[in-house]
Amino acid sequence: MGRMTSAIDLHGPAHVARYLETDGAEGHDWRRGTTVLLLTTTGRRTGAERVSALIYREWGDAFIVVASKGGADAPPAWFVNLTAHPEVGVQIRAERFAATARVATPEEKPAMWAAMVEAWPDYYAYQARTDREIPVVVLERA
């Protein structure tokens, strides 16, 4: 059997799988001191559940994530899905809960964006790569 990949090296489906297998013991604490949650959305066309591992920050009683897709011109599929179906599932470590997702308002976004850039400075470069305004998404417990 091969050497197991470190949780900080995980991304995509492998990150989600390890997070689920370990209730976030592996996968929550990620690269450069940041933290990751799992977001479950409903496919807008298929109705199938989709799970994404996303960097997050706490924001009052809510949590915030960024729909960056690395600065691509198209938004990530999970973002398109939650705009169609804002009822989502969230997992932070072993805790799972239902939430409602919404895009941060123009008034909220500057402070939230600053907090997310502090958590993951690459977001600044991602925004510079695209003309698309990268949204901050607020996840509020249902």
Query: In the chain, what are the domains?
Result: 7-141 (2.30.110.10)
In the sheet with 87-92, reading across from the earlier edge strand, the strands are 49-55, 36-42, 87-92, 95-103, 136-141, 62-66, 57-59
Query: Are the beta carbons of 89 and 98 closer than 8 angstroms?
Result: yes
- How far is CA 130 from each of CA 46, 67, 103, 142, rounded to the nearest angstrom? 28, 12, 18, 33
Residue spans of alpha helices (H) in the chain: 12-22, 77-84, 109-119, 122-128
Query: Are the beta carbons of 121 and 65 closer than 8 angstroms?
Result: no
Query: Are the beta carbons of 7 and 24 closer than 8 angstroms?
Result: no
According to the model, what pLDDT value does residue 24 have? 94
Which token pair is 76?
């990530």
Tell me the pLDDT of the chain (142 aa) as tens digits: 344 556 656 778 999 999 999 999 999 999 888 999 999 999 999 999 999 999 999 999 999 999 999 999 999 999 999 999 999 999 999 999 999 999 999 999 999 999 999 999 999 999 999 999 999 999 999 9
Q: Is 134 helix (H, G, I), strand (E, B) or coil?
A: coil
pTM score, two decimals? 0.92
CA distance 124 to 86: 26
